[in-house]
Amino acid sequence: MASILTHGIRNCPVNSAWVVKLAARSLTTTSHLQAQVQPKTKKTLAKPGVKNIVLVEGVRTPFLQSGTTYSDLMPHDLARAALQGLITKTGIPRTAVDYIVYGTVIQEVKTSNVAREAALGAGFSDRIPAHTVTMACISSNQAMTTAVGLIASGQCDTVVAGGVEFMSDVPIRHSRKMRKAMLSLNKAKTMGQKLALLGKIRPSYLAPELPAVAEFSTSETMGHSADRLAAAFGVSRWEQDEFALRSHTLAKKAEDAGLLSDVISFKVPGRETVSKDNGIRPSSIEQMSKLKPAFVKPHGTVTAANSSFLTDGASAVLIMSEEKALAMGYKPKAYLRDFVYVSQDPKDQLLLGPTYGTPKVLEKSGLTLADIDVFEFHEAFAGQIMANLKAMDSDWFAQTYMGRKSKVGAPSMEKFNTWGGSLSLGHPFGATGCRLVTTAAHRLMKEGGQYGLVAACAAGGQGHAMIVEAYPQ
């Protein structure tokens, strides 16, 4: 299938002219950062008899590269900080929340239900239920849509959703043979039995099992998959570096302009207060071109410079029924409208979730690509993003792999991730989804748009897409 995909994409009628001009056009277009609110007259997506669900507020800790300022903490510390930041920003009474849902990927064994531990640490009532979900890089997306479901079904009116990832300290296990020996040793009743079991332990048992960001079904790391996907779609190293540079440059401009208002300051116990992401580092194509391939050596195109980095961070959003939010005196930021989850081949199409999710959510909401004012797509790798954009702009791919008559089209880059993305801001696996939705809402408010489209890929060949509608200003 991979060879067919490679041949077909390289020979399909994809308009690639925009790729060459992508960075230049995006880097010189700064008007979107200072855009004045221009009222729109598009229809609302409200449906008769369907409860309106709103995003009231969203916050996140600064996203930091793993092994830096957060390195001595635990995941629930970051999640607790995000929850406390949300309480401070909204003023919502801790007893007014009906439920808490958090997403995470690599779980700390001591706090397997990190939602509950973080909630208790943040001072929420012990009567408020909390549970943790995991769905790879769309874990907090799943947390948010779980919240939507709880409210839509009438079970709750007020739900806090969020996500956390802590890559500075991941669980490292003993080998399976060693684990079996230790469990048997724990059951031994006499000293003789214990000595006999200890005598069976071999040096090879002591080799640890290190966690790997790899697909269980294919044993391939996501970086390798990104490299193969970029090759299949003919995405060059230069194009990937240009896109990564765009992400860092736009993130820096947004940060300097004070647009990243979801970031809260966090006093790290025993260390300094952090108030900014530390991965935003605009460079140059010349410097980026010096880096060697990170996964497929020596001829790969995915490098540390055009990939998202291992990140520590947490996010939290307050989601309510519109009726409840207004009754409590809140002015919501946005409506959370239609959403879809998709899944496809985890070997050759691991990172194409946005390509499959975008047309489905547009059809579900009755919108077209032209109706969307703001796009917020997760940037796992520059090659992954550009492969998705090429796939979305390909009739051949739509007809061959998606069962569609025609392509959905590629988003306008003037609307796409204009405040930076995961390549620059960072990507705590379980927390990125809330950042995407909150950023989409903030951009709609700043730019005067009505509809935002959030999309992300995830391990396992899965993906998510959601429509966010601006709340009337």
Residues contacting residue 190 through CB under 8 Å, at least 6 positions apart: none
Q: For residue 344, give the amino acid letter.
A: Q
pLDDT of residue 219: 85
- 199 within a domain of the structure (yes/no): no
**Measured distance CA(233)–CA(82) in Å, rounded:** 39
**Measured distance CA(408)–CA(392) in Å, rounded:** 6
**DSSP notation for 95-146:** GG--EEEEE-SS--GGGSSHHHHHHHHTT--TTS-EEEE-BTBTHHHHHHHH
Reported as a single tens digit per residue, the pLDDT across 18-65 is 444 444 444 443 444 444 444 455 789 999 999 999 999 999 999 999
pLDDT of residue 5: 56
- 208 within a domain of the structure (yes/no): no
- 207 within a domain of the structure (yes/no): no
pLDDT of residue 9: 53
Is 137 designated active site?
Answer: yes
What pTM, to 2 d.p., does this model score?
Answer: 0.91
Average pLDDT of span 154-172: 96
pLDDT of residue 33: 46
Q: Is the pLDDT assigned to residue 10 strictly greater than 80? A: no
> What domain range is 464 assigned to?
53-170+218-470
Average pLDDT of span 178-183: 93
Work out the mean pLDDT of the chain and round it to a whole number. 92
Asked whether the beta carbons of 434 and 163 are under 8 A apart, the reply is yes
**Measured distance CA(303)–CA(239) in Å, rounded:** 12
CA atoms within 13 A on the CB side of 418: 28
Scan for tokens 């002015």, then name that residue: 331
Q: 168: helix, coil or strand?
A: coil
Tokens found for residue 299: 């001829």
Average pLDDT of span 302-311: 98
**DSSP notation for 430-471:** TTHHHHHHHHHHHHHHHHT-SEEEEEEEETTTEEEEEEEEEP
- 162 within a domain of the structure (yes/no): yes
pLDDT of residue 390: 98
pLDDT of residue 15: 44
Tell me, what CATH number does 355's domain have?
A: 3.40.47.10
Q: Is the pLDDT assigned to residue 2 strictly greater than 90? A: no
**Measured distance CA(374)–CA(36) in Å, rounded:** 15
**Measured distance CA(166)–CA(311) in Å, rounded:** 7
Is 156 designated active site?
Answer: no
Reported as a single tens digit per residue, the pLDDT across 18-28 is 444 444 444 44
pLDDT band at 163 (very low <50, low <70, confident <90, very high): very high
**Catalytic option among 12, 137, 156, 434:** 137
pLDDT of residue 37: 45
Reported as a single tens digit per residue, the pLDDT across 189-238 is 999 999 999 999 999 999 998 877 788 888 899 999 999 999 999 999 99
Q: Is 22 left (phi over 0), alpha (psi -120 to 50) or beta?
A: alpha
- 446 within a domain of the structure (yes/no): yes
Q: Which residue has the higher pLDDT, 265 or 23?
A: 265
Q: Is the pLDDT assigned to residue 410 strictly greater than 90? A: yes
Tokens found for residue 124: 């929420």
pLDDT band at 469 (very low <50, low <70, confident <90, very high): very high
Q: Is the pLDDT assigned to residue 427 strictly greater than 90? A: yes
Tokens found for residue 219: 């044993």
**Measured distance CA(267)–CA(270) in Å, rounded:** 8
| Structural domains in the chain (count) | 1
Reported as a single tens digit per residue, the pLDDT across 324-337 is 999 999 999 999 99
- 194 within a domain of the structure (yes/no): no
Q: Is the pLDDT assigned to residue 7 strictly greater than 70? A: no
- 38 within a domain of the structure (yes/no): no
pLDDT of residue 210: 80
Reported as a single tens digit per residue, the pLDDT across 255-264 is 999 999 999 9
64-65 and 311-321 beta bridge pairing: antiparallel
pLDDT of residue 27: 43
Taking CA atoms, 315 is separated from 39, 160, 292, 318, 471, in Å, by 30, 10, 33, 11, 21
- The DSSP 8-state label assigned to residue 281 in this structure reads -
Average pLDDT of span 355-379: 98
Q: Is the pLDDT assigned to residue 152 strictly greater than 50? A: yes
Q: Is the pLDDT assigned to residue 14 strictly greater than 80? A: no
pLDDT band at 413 (very low <50, low <70, confident <90, very high): very high
- 414 within a domain of the structure (yes/no): yes
**Measured distance CA(261)–CA(265) in Å, rounded:** 11
**Catalytic option among 12, 156, 434, 457:** 457
Reported as a single tens digit per residue, the pLDDT across 77-101 is 999 999 999 999 999 999 999 999 9
